[in-house]
Structure 1
């Protein structure tokens, strides 16, 4: 045994800001994630069909859900780009 102490878990807490606005039959959502090293933002919208009930909560849920899905895709893309860059750097350095 080397006596080395195993490091504790890495813990990071991120907060997502989500702003939803409704104007008539159009609901817009803006989502922003501050990772501490960068800001990822996106916008999405939902439009009420004339056949749908006039319930603002439905537009809020659809617009917010779309914004959060896009935010997730952007976060995955950023992680993939970072992983590929790290792999390229390791290959270049011969590791």
Structure 2
């Protein structure tokens, strides 16, 4: 069975007073989800907005990923193929071993 679809995302970044907030909106065509992430810089840190943007966006995407995993697990349960274990982490894959070094 072949399947092709398009999901639309929008990423919004807001920065004020050493705090960056990110909202990621995902529209799958059948549902809409919103992920949130925040990064705070210490007042004595150098002002490098890109770092706050990257960290807050990563956290928002992790939040969104966790939501998607929960939806997938619930759908699997409804379909009668419940996973043996529900993973609490947002990502599980080959990058875990690279990132843990």
Structures share fold, TM-score greater than 0.5: yes
Query: Which runs of structure 1 show a deviation greater than 4 angstroms over 4 or more consecutive aligned residues?
Result: none
- Which whole-Å deviations, capped at 9, do the CAs of 1:13-47 have from their partners, x for residues lacking one? 11211100001101000011111110011211000
> Does residue 22 of the first structure (1) align with residue 3 of the second (2)?
no
CA–CA separation in structure 2 for the residues paired with 1:52 and 1:78: 39
SS in structure 1 opposite 2:42?
A: coil
Give the deviation of 1:86 after TM superposition. 1.6
Structure showing the higher helix proportion among its residues: 1
CA–CA separation in structure 1 for the residues paired with 2:80 and 2:21: 38
Of 44, 53, 63, which residue of structure 1 is paired with 2:56? 63
Q: Structure 2: any 5+ residue segments left out of the alignment?
A: 82-101
How many residues get paired?
81
For 2:87, the equivalent position in structure 1 comes to none
RMSD: 1.4
For 2:24, the equivalent position in structure 1 comes to 31
TM-score by length of 2: 0.74
Q: Structure 1: any 5+ residue segments left out of the alignment?
A: 1-6, 89-95
CA–CA separation in structure 1 for the residues paired with 2:5 and 2:31: 14
Give the deviation of 1:52 after TM superposition. 2.6
TM-score by length of 1: 0.78
